[in-house]
Amino acid sequence: MSDVASISISHLTVKFGGLTALDDVFLSIAPNTIVGLIGPNGAGKTTIFNAISGLLTPTSGEISIAGKESKWPASHELVDFGISRTLQGVGLFSGLTVLENVMMGADINRGSNFAKDLLGLSGRAEAKLKRKALDALAWAGALDMADKMPSKLTYPETKRVSIARALVSEPKVLLLDEPAAGLGQDDIDKFAALLKQLKKRCAIIIVEHHVDFIGEISDQVYVLNFGKVIASGTFDRVKRDPAVLAAYLGTSHQTGTDQLGASHA
């Protein structure tokens, strides 16, 4: 296995008018590892994903992908750059089976028109896409859902299907923004086991407010506050970092197990 970073970001700054959402951020992820991004609301976590996935143009900063300096990918180029993200707010299409929804992922990730493209696919191309979609469903632990309609899925099952949809384009790096939101503890534990398997296939950068979950699955954790990385390293190290404890204890909107200091210090 190569030790070249799957993605390496340096000096990333993003400004929205007078607001500096990210300020000189450095971040690197090695192949087959999980990087967890944590930090209070508004810290800039999603903005990092938006910069990597072409949803915004950074004010300044550089990105290397698989060891090569690169331009920042545009959203329709992500498949070619080997990057995929779960699409928050994009639900499953109710008139299509799970398998068909996952097959669409290949196309949503390219930003092109699935219906048009699928009609244009040869039988062989469609069979290949179907094989990839079944493979993605298997990796997401959702193979037995392939023929179901989305309305028959439980909430945790839809989470798995959305991961499969992101995997169908065979990414080297998968970006997951709050994938465990709304899951109960049992499902979070199952999800943690799933992600540990999934990193054998691709590097994963994950944003989550469930700090226990991030601690359980991440090889490296970055803690953001007000657009800056205030600590990085193993979870055991960052959870003791005074700057991290201060950032978490200084926020009143986090509750219960989401509080880093309370249950882990």
| Nearest residue (CB) to Mg ion, 46 versus 259 | 46
Partner touching 1 among ligand ATP, Mg ion, none, CB below 5 to 8 Å by kind: none
Residue 46 in the binding site for Mg ion (CB under 5 A) = yes
Helices (H) and strands (E) in the chain, counts: 11, 10
Q: Which residues bind ligand ATP (CB under 6 A)?
A: 16, 19, 21, 39, 41-47
Partner touching 42 among Mg ion, ligand ATP, none, CB below 5 to 8 Å by kind: ligand ATP
d(CA 48, CA 27) in angstroms, rounded, equals: 10
Partner touching 75 among Mg ion, ligand ATP, none, CB below 5 to 8 Å by kind: none
Of 22, 27, 18, 76, the residue nearest 233 (C-alpha): 27
Dihedrals phi, psi of 54, to nearest 5 degrees: 75, 15
* Residue 185 C-beta: closest distance to ligand ATP, Å: 20
Among the residue ranges 27-35, 45-53, 70-78, 166-174, the one whose residues contact Mg ion (CB under 5 A): 45-53
Of 7, 52, 40, the residue nearest 220 (C-alpha): 7
| Nearest residue (CB) to ligand ATP, 6 versus 47 | 47
| Nearest residue (CB) to ligand ATP, 1 versus 19 | 19
| Nearest residue (CB) to Mg ion, 43 versus 217 | 43
Write out the residues near Mg ion by the rule CB under 5 A: 45-46
